[in-house]
Chains A and B, each alone.
Chain A
Amino acid sequence: MSEVITPEHKQSKWSMVGKDAYAMPLEDIDLSHPGIWQANEYLPFLERLRNEDPVHYCKESAVGPYWSVMKYKDILEVDTNPDIYSSEPTIGIVDTFEEFTLPSFIAMDRPKHDDQRRIVQPVVAPANLKNLEVLIRERVCKILDSLPLEKEFDWVESVSIELTTQMLATLFDFPFEDRYKLTYWSDMATSIPGGGLAKSQEERWEAIQECLAYFTRLWNERVNTEPGFDLISMLAHGESTRDMPPDEFLGNLLLLIVGGNDTTRNSISGGVIALNENPQEYAKLRKDTSLIPNMVSEIIRWQTPLAYMRRTAVRDTELGGKHIKAGDKVIMWYVSGNRDAEVINRPNDFWIDRPNARNHLSFGFGIHRCMGNRLAEMQLRILWEEIMQRFHFVELEGEPQRVYSSFIKGYTHLPVVLHGKT
């Protein structure tokens, strides 16, 4: 889930880095450029728009004109009116190339969205996740037990990426030695040619084709063996899914891989940062680990691993007193709604025993609400339960490095030192 911005844009005229959010004309504020996100300078811009122009029109940007929806209640209104605010053709701020896009229901409207989602949804339902919990915990323990004590290492690489990759492999019962392919395919599928991993559209498409061939082979193996608890086996044997056309199976499989990859990865990293910035909360956690499930929701709010989702207005409408025209791009900044004091008490505080911590926007609301929410919560809960068993302090040793994206709110590097329990 990354987006099209080529490296030369880093120095581009569109960047807001180093600028004072309160010293420029309101209409010049542009949240779409990745600069302020990577530089961790976005909060004042969100705050100003939320207070002074909560439904904001940016008439000129590197990705064209777009509306920014900043307040919790307005975001809820957009998210829960899919007949006005369409998820087609894409949920990213940048328009896509149709010929290189696999169909998946995240970017579909009703009734097709509902039909496809209904087929895939049971595989991440809590009842099925229960069967995987023991195995996931075993793998979490193994990773944590292999980490060095009192020696600096990169948490992103050794824990966040390793864990999400292993968990994806576990969920798909994917050949363990090949598990890094999952992360590679996911990163390729979402990379925009020339902007990072994929050098060309052809290279990107080649990786997707390789992924599809691999999963087709697994499907064929599983369909001829006893049903298991893994996602592929469940899809291959499920009454409503076994006759799914191959392109639908593969498109939605890719959505599951992509959806569960960097979102969880960055919430795993985000939790470490939040606890380091708030030592009193870390102390609270050490005293009472039964707060972990509530803390997990608070981490997901605080991090907001996807900054926004995009909709496209299908007809003229009104939102917060502004006139939105058919065809306009509408960006719901979940990251801003999650800091809206009108709904979230003390929104800038990280507060592990926050009342109503589950009422955050990070999963979205309405028919497109994140399908893997329970899986994400389970992964984070198990991780923090096992961290607290082993370590007194996961100490941040330097400034985190952030992803160059206004969509993926995440980290590329997080230097930490582990201190054991004494």
Chain B
Amino acid sequence: MVEIVFIEHDGSEHKVDARPGSTVMLAAVTNGVPGIDADCGGSCSCATCHVYVHEDWLEKVGEMNPTEEAMLSLSPDRKENSRLSCQIPVSEELSGLVVTTPEFQF
């Protein structure tokens, strides 16, 4: 299992174990981490699983695909380290990954 750390906008921390091959979004949803809505269920078409990736992990998380970029580009809360968590596959390499959830999903 791969450990992923979610930090809420108010600082509350949630450490969860994720299965390789799953996604960061599913890791949050199946473990009851608040702040991730995932309205479209992981098909990169609603931008309600928005997270900010800790800068130490940006490189390992990798590049965005064009669809993810298109969805995120419409979010008013988008930052440099914004990603859609349904588009981040869980792998051993990401063990210890730290992401922050925004105050609102939109």
Contacts and interface: CB of A to CB of B under 8 A. Distances in A.
Contacts, number: 54
Interface stretch (A198-206, A281-289, A366-374): A366-374
Contacts of A374: 104, 106
B104 A76 contact: no
Contact of A76 (B45, B70, B73, B76): B45
B76 A359 contact: no
B77 A125 contact: yes
B40 to A, nearest CB: 5
A366 B39 contact: no
B103 interface: yes
Contact of A366 (B45, B48, B76): B45
Contacts of A127: 77, 103-104
Nearest to B41: A359
Interface residues of B, number: 23
Contacts of B46: 365, 369
Given A76-B43, A356-B41, A366-B45, A114 B106 contact: no
B45 A80 contact: yes
Contacts of B43: 76, 80, 365
Contacts of B44: 80
Nearest to B38: A358
Nearest to A124: B106
B28 to A, nearest CB: 14
A117 interface: yes
B35 to A, nearest CB: 12
Contacts of A366: 45, 71
A359 B49 CA distance: 13
A121 interface: yes
A76 B45 CA distance: 8
A126 B73 contact: no
A80 B41 CA distance: 14
A125 B105 CA distance: 9
B70 A367 contact: yes
A126 B104 contact: yes
Interface in B30-80: 37-41, 43-48, 67, 70-71, 73-77
B40 A121 contact: no
B74 A125 contact: no
Contacts of A230: none
A59 interface: no
A30 interface: no
A359 B74 contact: no
Contacts of B106: 125-126, 374
A122 interface: yes
Nearest to A374: B106
13 contacts: A110-B70, A118-B74, A121-B74, A125-B77, A126-B104, A126-B106, A127-B77, A359-B39, A365-B40, A367-B71, A369-B45, A369-B46, A374-B104
Given A121-B76, A358-B38, A358-B39, 9 more contacts: A80-B43, A114-B73, A114-B74, A118-B74, A125-B106, A365-B45, A367-B74, A369-B46, A369-B47
